Amino acid sequence: MYKLIDGKLISTTIKDELKQEVADKNIKATLAVIQVGNDPASSVYVGNKKKACEYIGIGSKSFELPEETTEEELLKLIDELNADDSINGILVQLPVPKHIDDEKIINRISPLKDVDGFHPESVGNLCIGQEGFVSCTPAGIIELLKRSDVSIEGKECVVIGRSNIVGKPMALLLLANNGTVTVCHSRTKDLKKVCKRADILVAAVGKPKMITAEYVKEGAVVIDVGIHRMDNGKLCGDVDFDDVAPHTSAITPVPGGVGPMTIAMLMVNCVKAAKRR
């Protein structure tokens, strides 16, 4: 029988720990949340981030900018927030409208306030094992594994996906935890065969239910980063849960697996930013 890794429960535990720490140490943290345009999915994510701040006792300052906002205007706002001592963390919800270069935006956020962990300095620190902010989704996956007593050391870890936000930092974190790491992508030959070696398989492919039992070694731990809405209105991941779960020793569900951890780790980064100041 497999173990269901309960991200909702673990994320709540983390948020409760943070709430306690913020109260005990009288930590004053404020997160600036910037959304450009009104993409409905982004609005939901931003709303959930602000709710989490409130729950923990972190201030949040919202900047809801119109779709037509220019790159210069957004960069100017970031400069102001970088210089503002009352702001500890800055988050620009992605994607930004097409006329804005997201790389320029990410690079402009002070690495001291980069609670998303997307700045090249944050990524570089992660790469060489120095202190810095780590991208929230992969950091959340490491917490899920640790808090579910899944050891990473010496394990065959296979990450499917090489995005800057998930795949690459995930691989670096698994490596930092002494896993043997393989990163797969769209050009990988014989993906099934590579995945089948994994003791820990992280799926961040972006294709609904693509990972079936054929990709999974008996007894593997499977982490599903995907989230997709099906025609029947229900959510599913990159993993075909019903097909795969019976072959695993532990697996994350969608929803209620990796998703809630992303916000919990953002809160961890906000508290860290306030303590570092």
Residue 160: beta bridge partners?
184, 203
Q: How far apart are alpha carbons 245 and 72 in whole angstroms? A: 48
Residues that bind ligand GUN (rule: CB under 6 A) add up to a total of 7
DSSP 8-state secondary structure symbol assigned to residue 211: B
Min dist. Cβ of residue 106 to ligand GUN (A): 9
Min dist. Cβ of residue 42 to ligand GUN (A): 7
Is the Cβ of residue 89 or residue 179 nearer to ligand GUN in the bound state? 89
Q: Per-residue x/- mask for ligand GUN, residues 85 to 124, rule CB under 6 A?
A: ------xxxx---------------------x--------
Contact flag: residue 30 with ligand GUN (CB under 6 A): no
Residue type, 147: R
Is the Cβ of residue 6 or residue 116 nearer to ligand GUN in the bound state? 116
C-beta neighbour count of 130 within 10 angstroms: 10
6 is catalytic: no
Contact flag: residue 225 with ligand GUN (CB under 6 A): no
Question: What is the Cα 81 distance to its own chain's centre?
Answer: 23
Closest among 24, 33, 78, 77 to 51, alpha carbons compared: 33
35 is catalytic: no
CB 205 within 8 A of CB 188: no
Contact flag: residue 262 with ligand GUN (CB under 6 A): yes
Closest among 135, 118, 147, 176 to 14, alpha carbons compared: 147
Residues 131-150 binding ligand GUN (CB under 6 A) are 136
Binding-site ranges for ligand GUN (CB under 6 A):
91-94, 116, 136, 262
Residues annotated catalytic, as ranges: 49, 93, 116
